[in-house]
Chains A and B, each alone.
Chain A
Amino acid sequence: METGLVGAIDEASETEEQDRFLIINKAALKRPGVILRLLSIVVCFVGSILAVFLPMVTIEYASYSSSTTFTDARAVRFPAELISGWNNLFGGDYFGYYLKSKYGAEVLCTVKANFNWVLFLFLIIAILFAVLAFLVTFSKRMEKLSKLVILGYILCGIACVCSPIWFMAVNNFGNTQAIATTDLGHYYLFDSLYVHDAFGAVVSCLVLIGAGIVFAVGTAKENAGGDNRNAEQ
């Protein structure tokens, strides 16, 4: 009878421990799994900072299809334009690209970049996932969300590598005006426009995915042979 009561008290204590939110102690900070998970947060912030500062978008011209009407000579004369991460994200600075009218005029126009709310949203989400990673690391009851953190990091990495898409969308250029050349309001062609990732997009993507991998490894170490953090505590 007495033994049974002690066992029930121990179980209750363990359940209470599992339900507690955000338990940070020195012992936990020494576990490799926890260290890796915290490292993933740092890596996530590094990836986000790189996305803000590194060149994310490249504008070039290339004759890559049979429908190209842009002259090769002009395409060669235009050096690859690297849009900085800052301008890609917050806008405010200018960038240039060619427009080709239906009559053949190839004009180099200059426009001011708009605020890239799509990428901004993804970077905010990345930071939120970093916060979630911290909470998951020190909260037993949030352990189930660890896979969501991994997914979130990778998703934000993919969002970074998709920067050219967001950039063209928020700045309203690309193929949107190439469809109805008979309409004077939509008669510019973009057929040779080649907007692709700058190295910053690839780097920030890899770093964010790296954060996901680091967090996944940390999670695997934490859960090796079952979640043993209570045992160590």
Chain B
Amino acid sequence: MRKSNKAFFVFLLAPVFVLAGCSNDFSNSVTSLDDFLTVADAASLDIQSSVVKTDSGSSSVGGASSSTAASSSTEEDKPAHGAYLYANDNYSISNGSVSFTGYSEVHGSETDYFLIDLTKKSGFVTTDPSLLSAHLNDAKDLIVRDYTALTGVYDDMKTYVGKTAADYDKMTYLKLAYTLAGDAAGYTLSTITVDADVKVETNVYLTLDQIGGQWAFTNYSKRVTTSETYEKNGKQLTNYTYSVVEYMVNVVTSLSTLNLNLTSYSIYIQGKTPADIAWTNGTPLTEK
């Protein structure tokens, strides 16, 4: 091809390449550890809340009857819980049978502390903050524990970098990809393993947000779907088992205040009898 022809084709194709570059590619496969962002640890973040939800179920397809959402227990099940922190060390925690809200309110030079049992819809008010500290520490620990768990998930994803499905036993599919869009980032790990008639599909989604200049884990979802094919009465049946665990972490730049409505709660004064009808500052009990 003559030089002038080449120049002509370059002249023609140049705008095409320019136009092609107008799109924005937020997503790509993870090819090296450099594709992983540096994420702040729990200690350097203001984490307002952490909520963990789980779900599981099973269904049968191919037979005359099917059932859905039957309870099942798998290794992916984790106890659902939630912990919320607010300004002035106010908090709310829900973990198993424990469900409390700790709340403080300042009256002049004195602070009143409320510990509300959300399950019993009752609570007490006191001037001793130490009576609320146990659950406050539990809430803080729970948040740190959840965030640390997500760090573990993130570190586990890094072990898949540069690997293919062939590197793992019985694995037929492996994909590790990420999206980095503005102040949000998401990592997706998908695997499929097949062992005889049992197929296990795992999808792990870990979402990060940049808050206050730091990347932090905010949302996580792991779904495991197990399908098992078997024969019964001459029919091919497939049993599906689903398992989901999800984390929702709310990272903020400053903790918000807790607005508490105790209208439907019964409150008593800790360490006081009905005879003690006034506080040391003279505030009548009826005004509390």
Interface residues on A, range: 35 or more
A-B contacts, CB under 8 A, total: 127
Tell me, rounded to whole Å, the shortest Cβ–Cβ distance linking A52 to chain B: 9
Tell me which of A35-43, A82-90, A148-156, A163-171 binds B: A82-90
Asked whether, in the complex, the Cβ of B221 is within 8 Å of the Cβ of A184, the reply is no
A145 at the interface (CB under 8 A from B): no
Mark contacts of A93-106 with chain B using CB atoms, 8 A cut-off: 1 yes-contact digit, 0 otherwise. Answer: 11110010101111
Asked whether, in the complex, the Cβ of B16 is within 8 Å of the Cβ of A53, the reply is yes
B254 at the interface (CB under 8 A from A): no
Q: How far is the CA of A52 from the CA of B71 in the complex (A)?
A: 49
Asked whether, in the complex, the Cβ of A53 is within 8 Å of the Cβ of B19, the reply is yes
A233 at the interface (CB under 8 A from B): no
In the complex, which residue of chain A has the Cβ closest to the Cβ of B25? A93
Q: Which of B53, B185, B242 lies in contact with A184, CB distance below 8 A?
A: B242
Which applies to chain A's interface (DSSP): helix, strand, loop or mixed? mixed
B178 at the interface (CB under 8 A from A): yes
B46 at the interface (CB under 8 A from A): no
In the complex, which residue of chain A has the Cβ closest to the Cβ of B68? A183
A54 at the interface (CB under 8 A from B): yes
B74 at the interface (CB under 8 A from A): no
Query: Of residues B19, B55, B185, which shows the largest number of chain A Cβ atoms within 10 Å of its Cβ?
Result: B19
Asked whether, in the complex, the Cβ of A107 is within 8 Å of the Cβ of B219, the reply is yes
Asked whether, in the complex, the Cβ of A112 is within 8 Å of the Cβ of B186, the reply is no
Q: How far is the CA of A72 from the CA of B281 in the complex (A)?
A: 45
Tell me which of B129-137, B152-160, B191-199, B243-251 binds A: B243-251
Q: How far is the CA of A99 from the CA of B22 in the complex (A)?
A: 26
Q: How far is the CA of A198 from the CA of B207 in the complex (A)?
A: 26
User: Which B residues touch A87, using CB under 8 A?
Assistant: 23
Q: Which of A74, A103, A111 lies in contact with B188, CB distance below 8 A?
A: A111
User: Which B residues touch A104, using CB under 8 A?
Assistant: 51, 53, 246, 248
Tell me which of B26-34, B83-91, B99-107, B260-268 binds A: B26-34
In the complex, which residue of chain B has the Cβ closest to the Cβ of A96? B179
In the complex, which residue of chain B has the Cβ closest to the Cβ of A49? B16
A1 at the interface (CB under 8 A from B): no
B24 at the interface (CB under 8 A from A): yes
B37 at the interface (CB under 8 A from A): no
Within 8 A of A (CB), among B42-78: 51, 53, 55-57, 59, 68-69
Mark contacts of B167-198 with chain A using CB atoms, 8 A cut-off: 1 yes-contact digit, 0 otherwise. Answer: 00000000101110111111110000000000
In the complex, which residue of chain A has the Cβ closest to the Cβ of B180? A96
Asked whether, in the complex, the Cβ of B248 is within 8 Å of the Cβ of A79, the reply is no
Q: Which of A49, A95, A109, A184 lies in contact with B244, CB distance below 8 A?
A: A184
Asked whether, in the complex, the Cβ of A95 is within 8 Å of the Cβ of B27, the reply is yes
A110 at the interface (CB under 8 A from B): yes
Tell me, rounded to whole Å, the shortest Cβ–Cβ distance linking A77 to chain B: 5
A50 at the interface (CB under 8 A from B): yes
Asked whether, in the complex, the Cβ of B181 is within 8 Å of the Cβ of A78, the reply is yes
Q: How far is the CA of A199 from the CA of B22 in the complex (A)?
A: 10
A182 at the interface (CB under 8 A from B): yes
B146 at the interface (CB under 8 A from A): no
Q: How far is the CA of A106 from the CA of B51 in the complex (A)?
A: 13
In the complex, which residue of chain B has the Cβ closest to the Cβ of A50? B19
B205 at the interface (CB under 8 A from A): yes
Q: Which of A55, A101, A108, A110 lies in contact with B23, CB distance below 8 A?
A: A55
Query: Of residues B16, B23, B26, which shows the largest number of chain A Cβ atoms within 10 Å of its Cβ?
Result: B23
A185 at the interface (CB under 8 A from B): yes
Q: List 6 A-B contacts (CB under 8 A).
A: A78-B181, A83-B23, A107-B221, A108-B185, A109-B186, A184-B242
Beyond the given pairs A53-B19, A81-B26, A101-B221, 12 more chain A to chain B contacts, judged by CB atoms under 8 angstroms and listed by A's residue number, are A74-B184, A78-B182, A79-B182, A94-B25, A94-B179, A106-B248, A108-B219, A109-B186, A110-B28, A110-B188, A183-B69, A184-B69
Q: Which 10 A-B pairs have the closest CB atoms?
A: A108-B186, A96-B179, A84-B23, A94-B27, A107-B205, A110-B177, A184-B242, A103-B53, A55-B23, A105-B246
Measured CB to CB, the residues of B under 8 A from A are 16, 19-20, 22-29, 51, 53, 55-57, 59, 68-69, 175, 177-179, 181-188, 205-207, 209, 218-221, 225, 240, 242, 244, 246-248
